[in-house]
Amino acid sequence: MVARPVVTPPQAVSPTVTSLLRFGFHAQPTVLVLRFSTPLNALRAEDVRNYAIVTLGGSGRGGSRAGHRIGVSLAVYDAATRTVTLYPSERLDVHNLYALTVRGTGARGLTGVTGRPLSGQGAGRPSTDYVARITRQLLEGPASLAAALVNRQRAAALVSAPAVDVLWSLGKLRVKPAQASAVPDPITHFFATSAGRRVAVGVRRPLPLP
């Protein structure tokens, strides 16, 4: 009798924050986009009580009000991209410094779909808050680009094999198609079909389709 191999079910992993981007400047509303390593519990992800913004200081409007708390009016979770888009109740001046806290503690803190709490202080540290500084260096562009970013994450562009050759010859690709072995982050990658198989092709920036 042949013994059957023992299959160990995958372990549930706590979500972590993998990126924080900022959009909006001058008179534009501020938009923050958080990305997570694993899918989140949608109800908790959209609970604005799980996010807090505090003014730390600066030379811009309201910069002298250190310790001023700024609420989050709306939190929108996109399961396809594992992103939460935050809309603060006040504009964040680019000349000021702010602190963002994402709650991973308490009974209502962020969790993954498996129920594992947020590892805000890094992988392997569940039930901890994520705390980051919101600086001018995080600014990606105008507020209108925030929605475009999430949409770009949701749908990777399909590029023909000839177009891949053109992009490679122009130095737009990080990896040759033959070297790609896994599907990477769709924010910065396109996908192409080459030699009858689907491969991932890395690019420096999202490009319009040829």
* CATH 2.60.40.10 corresponds to the domain 17-154: no
For residue 55, give the nearest of 71, 32, 34, 35 by alpha carbon.
71
- The tens digit of pLDDT for each residue in 84-98 reads 999 999 999 999 999
Q: Is 162 a residue whose pLDDT tops 70? A: no
Q: What is the DSSP string of 35-77?
A: EESS-B-HHHHT-GGGEEEEEEEESSTTTT-TT-EE-EEEEEE
What pLDDT score was predicted for residue 112? 95
Exposure string for 137-164, b = 16+ CB within 10 A, e = fewer: ebbeeebebbeebbebbeebbebeeebb
Q: Give this prediction's pTM.
A: 0.70
For residue 76, give the nearest of 86, 66, 68 by alpha carbon.
86
The DSSP bridge partners found for residue 42 are: none
Q: Which two structure tokens, joined as six digits, stand for 21?
A: 């981007």
Most confident of 2-6, 101-105, 166-170: 101-105
Q: Is 186 a residue whose pLDDT tops 50? A: no
**Contact between residue 91 and residue 72 where contact means Cβ atoms under 8 Å apart:** no
For residue 91, give the nearest of 121, 61, 64, 68 by alpha carbon.
61
Q: Where are the domains of the chain?
A: 17-154, 158-202
Q: What is the mean pLDDT of the chain?
A: 78
What pLDDT score was predicted for residue 12? 73
Q: Is 156 a residue whose pLDDT tops 60? A: no
Q: How far apart are CA 140 and CA 149, in angstroms?
A: 10
The CA–CA distances, whole Å, from 112 to 58, 137, 205, 206 equal: 35, 29, 30, 29
- pLDDT, average across residues 120-130: 94
